Structure 1
Amino acid sequence: MTSKLPSDKNDNNKKPVPEPFREIVKTMNDFFTEKPIRGFLQSIDEFFKHPFPSGGGFHVETVETGNEYIITAELPGVKREQIHLNMTGNYLTISVENNQIETHEDEHNHIYSRKLMKEQSSRTISLPHSINEKKVKAFYRDGLLQVRIPQEKGKIIEIED
């Protein structure tokens, strides 16, 4: 008595064995194009396009004009005193900090609950040269922060024979 396994059925209809590398390439292609991997890879792409979650971060754009760098940050609803600029070497960091204290009192003005909420977002922009903070100008109006950083001209060194 012989038993046939499911793989033993239809021996006459077997397909020819494909080249091993073709099968590996097909498997890898399927792996990266099927869900959930494709969704995972798309989320990584989205992270690098928009590294801060919606509501938690802010958009920053850098434009080079030839004479200066103009860095613009969109900060709607942010007060001027909540914005902090920090320059170190060739890095400019724009930070936004929001601190709120929520207090609950009873009818006798006794505090029975106090909650401190602290939110902070920051973006760091790298420039190709050190920043001379004495020449930097920053303006904030209607939710747009604009930082103007003059491009520094380095000293040209002549090469001798």
Structure 2
Amino acid sequence: MSSMVPNDKNSKKPKSESFGDLMKTMNEFFNEKPIKGFLQSIDDFFKSPFPPGTGFHVDTIETGNEYIISAELPGVKREQIHLNISGNHLTISVENKELETTEDEHNQIYRRKYLQQKSSKTISLPHTINEKSVKASYRDGLLKIRIPQEKGKVIEIDD
């Protein structure tokens, strides 16, 4: 039976070198600029799918007569937190604005960098929220929001 790989001594490359050439060609293909940039961006995404500092943890607990919503916001100042109620949705927003200035008088280099980070979470509740009855407190990086459960009017069905 004949073999697919020539076995005579006049052949230029043995089988293992052909495979090595194929691997080298594949490596060169994936290391070209456009492909490498694309693959690097995929790797970066899976290392950190969300930009650092944009998310915060929120828990919602139903006690029977109220909803207690807790958000962990370590290092956030009270004035950076904004609460918005619209219908049955509560949105917690955190906004951080910083101005970073670097000056080097010797080399006459001046640099200003304005950083703005904003993140928010929206919680949906099964009924419309009465904003007058909502109470919120913030202490030691923990935001607690208490929303009373409102009972709707019970309607009797006639025979």
TM-score normalised to structure 2 length: 0.65
CA apart distance, 1:62: 0.2
| Match of residue 65 from structure 2 | 67
How many residue pairs get aligned? The number is: 117
Residue 123, structure 1, aligned to residue 121, structure 2? yes
Q: Which runs of 5+ in 1 are unaligned?
A: 7-42, 45-50
Aligned residue for 2:74, secondary structure, equals coil
Superimposed CA distance per residue, residues 21-77 of structure 1 (whole angstroms, 9 cap, x where no aligned partner)? xxxxxxxxxxxxxxxxxxxxxx99xxxxxx956532000000000110000000011
CA apart distance, 1:104: 2.3
- Give the distance between the partners of 2:109 and 2:98, measured in 1 at CA: 16
Residue 92, structure 1, aligned to residue 90, structure 2? yes
**How much is the aligned-residue C-alpha RMSD, in angstroms?**
2.8
The answer (yes or no) to whether the contact 1:103–1:111 under 8 Å persists in 2 is no
Which range moved further: 140-149 or 110-119?
Answer: 110-119
CA apart distance, 1:103: 1.6
| Match of residue 78 from structure 2 | 80
Q: Percent identity?
A: 73
2:153 to 144, 152, 155: 155
CA apart distance, 1:106: 4.0
Q: How do 1:2-151 residues align onto structure 2 when only pairs under 5 Å count? A: 55-107=53-105, 112-151=110-149
Aligned residue for 1:160, secondary structure, equals coil
Q: 1:61–1:54: structure 2 CA closer, same or farther, 3 Å change rule?
A: farther
Q: Which runs of 5+ in 2 are unaligned?
A: 5-44
The answer (yes or no) to whether the contact 1:98–1:120 under 8 Å persists in 2 is yes
- Give the distance between the partners of 1:144 and 1:69, measured in 2 at CA: 16
Q: 1:63–1:53: structure 2 CA closer, same or farther, 3 Å change rule?
A: farther
